[in-house]
């Protein structure tokens, strides 16, 4: 639970100190050379509060430098509010809603939300699973590819998404086609070979399943959702349910080039759902360093 009347959501100085504490728990660190002992606050009123100077590399910086907030004209307290709202909203929050709640333009809210999704991306994912654990894998289809023709009974016109779930963590991928080749590449790259693989009866997992400790399937066409040994794909299907409800009900439209960022957002919230909303937002702020995203890069995908 988080009190939205907290000063960090409304006061610029409180928001800055909050972000500094998250990013620099042991004191300001130079955003350029990484030094700690050579950093000093900039005195005087000319620069304003929150500026620091490194005597080693002779550069000035603030807590914004080297993060998703860099070179943004939006006040930090609005960034902090937006991060909390996106981290706390199970199915997401639209840029139009952020635009209305924060009092910024729609264009700024759209760009801001993409930068926040960039912070939510896991930079150093370790292999999932291991001895004695299981990974659920499944694929789903969403929306419609640009320029694709809709065909009855087929899914070639839709976006393909492959997801892996284990120990409460989600890792998902937007792929051109969900076939045996792409699924194998995802599985052998992201899952330890000592892991037990749980899938449905789809044939795309049959061959790659032999590369893992065991491969157990549930036969959905027979009405089976939990196998005799407890194998299931219920968790990954629950993830898909949340993702699709958010994409259809909140975001409504997503260009092909941006879909992976939206997937990263849903992965982040699902993987941290045991945390309180405030702690989830804190974690996203911690991950904001080193992920500066320019408007041009966002527009290009």
**Per-residue pLDDT, 47:** 81
For residue 298, pLDDT beyond 80: no
**Per-residue pLDDT, 291:** 84
Give the whole-angstrom CA distance, residue 88 versus residue 66.
Answer: 25
| Tens digit of each residue's pLDDT (9 = 90 or more) over 7-60 | 999 999 999 999 999 999 999 999 999 999 999 999 887 788 899 999 999 999
Give the whole-angstrom CA distance, residue 6 versus residue 94.
Answer: 23
**Per-residue pLDDT, 66:** 94
CA distances from 150 to 1, 141, 157 (A): 44, 13, 6
HEC readout, the chain: CCCCCCHHHCCHHHHHHHHHHHHCCCCCCCCCCCCCCCEEECCCCCCCCCCEEECCCCEEECCCCCECCCCCCCCHHHHHHHHHHHHHCCCCCCHHHHHHHHCCCHHHHHHHHHHHHHHHCCCCCCCECCCCCEEEEEEEEECCCCCCCCCCCCCCCCEEEEEEEECCEEEEEEECCCCHHHHHHHHHHHECCCCEEEEECCHHHHHHHCCCCEEEEECHHHCCCECCCCCECHHHHHHHHHHHHHHHHHHCCCCHHHHHHHHHHHHHHHHCCCCCHHHHHHHHHHCCECCCCCHHHHHHC
Confidence of residue 297 (pLDDT cuts 50, 70, 90): low
Give me the percent of the chain exceeding a pLDDT of 90.
80
**Per-residue pLDDT, 296:** 61
Beta bridge partners of 52: 41, 61
| Residue among 8, 4, 153 at smallest CA distance from 80 | 8
Beta bridge partners of 159: 142
| Tens digit of each residue's pLDDT (9 = 90 or more) over 199-219 | 999 999 999 999 999 999 999
**Per-residue pLDDT, 252:** 87
Q: Are 162 and 169 in contact (CB under 8 A)?
A: no
For residue 167, pLDDT beyond 80: yes
pTM of the full structure = 0.92
110, two tokens: 């759209």
**Per-residue pLDDT, 270:** 97
What number is the average pLDDT over the span 221-225? Answer: 88
For residue 1, pLDDT beyond 70: no
| 235 vs 291, residue with greater confidence | 235
**Per-residue pLDDT, 101:** 96
Q: Are 239 and 266 in contact (CB under 8 A)?
A: yes
Which domains, ranges and CATH numbers included, belong to the chain? 7-123+278-300 (no CATH), 134-254 (3.30.420.10)
Q: What is the mean pLDDT of the chain?
A: 92
263, two tokens: 């997937």
What number is the average pLDDT over the span 282-287? Answer: 97
Give the whole-angstrom CA distance, residue 97 versus residue 95.
Answer: 5
Beta bridge partners of 61: 52
CA 297 vs. chain centroid, Å, equals: 17
What number is the average pLDDT over the span 116-127? Answer: 93
Give the whole-angstrom CA distance, residue 57 versus residue 33.
Answer: 7
CA distances from 166 to 29, 74, 128, 170, 191 (A): 36, 38, 7, 7, 10
| 148 vs 124, residue with greater confidence | 124
């Amino acid at each position: 639970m988080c009190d939205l009347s907290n000063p960090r959501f409304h006061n610029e100085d409180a928001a800055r100190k909050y972000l500094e504490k998250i990013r620099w728990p042991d004191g300001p660190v130079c955003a350029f050379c990484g030094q700690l002992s050579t950093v000093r606050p900039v005195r005087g009123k000319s620069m304003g509060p929150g500026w620091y100077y490194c005597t080693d590399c002779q550069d000035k910086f603030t807590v914004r430098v080297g993060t998703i907030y860099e070179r943004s004209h939006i006040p930090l307290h609005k960034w902090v509010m937006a991060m909390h709202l996106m981290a706390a909203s199970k199915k997401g929050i639209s840029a139009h809603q952020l635009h209305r709640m924060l009092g910024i333009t729609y264009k700024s809210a759209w760009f801001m939300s993409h930068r926040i999704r960039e912070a939510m991306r896991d930079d150093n994912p370790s292999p999932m699973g291991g001895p004695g654990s299981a990974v659920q894998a499944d694929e789903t289809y969403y929306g419609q590819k640009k320029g694709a023709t809709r065909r009855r009974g087929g899914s070639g016109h839709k976006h393909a998404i492959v997801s892996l779930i284990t120990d409460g963590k989600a890792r998902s991928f937007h792929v051109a086609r969900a076939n045996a080749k792409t699924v194998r590449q995802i599985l052998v790259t992201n899952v330890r070979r000592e892991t037990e693989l749980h899938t449905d009866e789809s044939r795309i997992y049959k061959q790659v399943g032999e590369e893992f400790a065991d491969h157990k399937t549930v036969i959905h066409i027979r009405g089976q959702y939990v196998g005799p040994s407890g194998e299931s794909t219920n968790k990954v299907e629950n993830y898909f349910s949340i993702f699709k409800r958010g994409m259809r009900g909140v975001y409504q439209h997503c260009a092909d080039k941006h879909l992976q960022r939206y997937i990263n957002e849903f992965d982040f919230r699902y993987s941290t759902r045991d945390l309180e909303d405030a702690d989830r937002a804190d974690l996203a702020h911690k991950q904001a360093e080193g992920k500066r995203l320019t408007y041009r890069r966002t527009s290009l995908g």
